[in-house]
Amino acid sequence: MRQWHFYALVTAIGAVTVVLSFVATQRVVRDILARERQTVQFYAEMLRIFADPTLETDPFLFVLLDHVVPTISFPIVVTDPQDEPLYPYGQNTLNVELDTAWSAETQRRYLRRLVAEMRQEFPPISVTDQKGVELARIYYSTSRLVRWVRWIPYVQALLVIGLLVMGWIALRFGRQAEESRLWVAMAKEAAHQLGTPLSSVLGWLELLRQQPEMQQDILHELARDVARLQSVVQRFSQIGAQPRLTPQPIAPIVEEVVHYLQRRLPQSKHIEIELELDRQAQAAVNRELLAWAVENVLKNAIEAIERAPGRIQLRLSSCGDTVQLEITDNGRGIPARLRRRIFEPGFTTKRRGWGLGLSLARRIVESYHGGALLLKESIPGQGSTFVLELPRARSPHMESPRDDRREGFPELSR
């Protein structure tokens, strides 16, 4: 009965997360669209001034226009009052892909279809002279970033639904206790990882309201949050399936994880991370999953440090047929009586911990990569050392029989 209570709680958390994400996303989209329309109106006013022969054009307007046009990231088409695209087409469009090999007639037909689509999305903005006579119309559509942001709640909903379905299957067929605890921890981890980009989106929204002049920087950070969400989706989608592995250097993966975590270190602990990496060390890995495992071990080391100054050392080396990554911290250490349980799903000594990090890291390393994750040494009050071992790749050009079809993975949000 407790399992079903937990399942109902996770369902409620997932539903609230998706609803909040949808509301926040819609607010962000509305603000972005309003600012895009203001940009188009400004662009139309510039065209009106340049087209009126009775007005003396201030050279400063050319400078201002040169600074505004590069910031426009959405498609724009300028037409005459009868919605006919103005020629030359390349000079009267922005962010529209026109093949130079097309004839003028082909380009005209393409632009007319595009204008018809834009008309369904937004009403055009008219360019008029001083007497109110319409000179031209400006059609535009949403930017690529807006389309990406709109997908955030749907991606989150799919992820939550997928996790709920997997949890229901686990409860329905009464899986082993370890697997049940693992799903419990994964559901909480999913809520945490979904909540992080959601909180970030809400924060950027508030900053966008307070400092509208920072629009471009804020949009850039929102794009990074979308990339982080894509990374979370890829990670969870590969749990439970056999991933494909690609021989590649391990050092860049470690450096990227460290760079991501360094900007999120608690300032009060004054933690310094030292790297000693063998750049020739290669192994057949799934880049996304291995980065997740290293990130979990590093987070465990960061949380183990209770007082400043903190120090974490990462040493990557090749040893015979294996690649070894040692992670040493000067944290509180692990008592001898608890060392056999630290990799159990759901086991944690933290008040608000979920007991998933080390268990999931070991599963990724051992079950998916044929390696090992071990506690090498731990002295209470002095720190701990974990060792991550992977089978060494025989050749940098050799492809594993489980070669990952996807090249690389989305950059971790910073």
Print the domain residue range for 159: 152-238
Is the whole model's pTM more than 0.85, yes or no?
no
Is 402 a member of any domain?
no
Same domain assignment for residues 94 and 122: yes
Q: Are 234 and 409 in contact (CB under 8 A)?
A: yes
Domain stop point among 173, 208, 238: 238
Same domain assignment for residues 113 and 212: no
Same domain assignment for residues 138 and 163: no
Number of neighbouring beta carbons within 10 Å of residue 378 = 21
Number of domains within the chain: 3
Question: What phi, psi does 137 have (nearest 5°)?
Answer: -130, 145
Per-residue pLDDT at 393:
83
pLDDT < 50 regions, the chain: 1, 396-414
Same domain assignment for residues 184 and 97: no
Long-range contacts formed by 221-226: CB under 8 A, 24+ apart:
222/28, 222/145, 222/149, 223/145, 223/148, 224/411, 224/413, 224/414, 225/197, 225/200, 225/201, 225/413, 226/148, 226/149, 226/151, 226/152, 226/197
Per-residue pLDDT at 385:
95
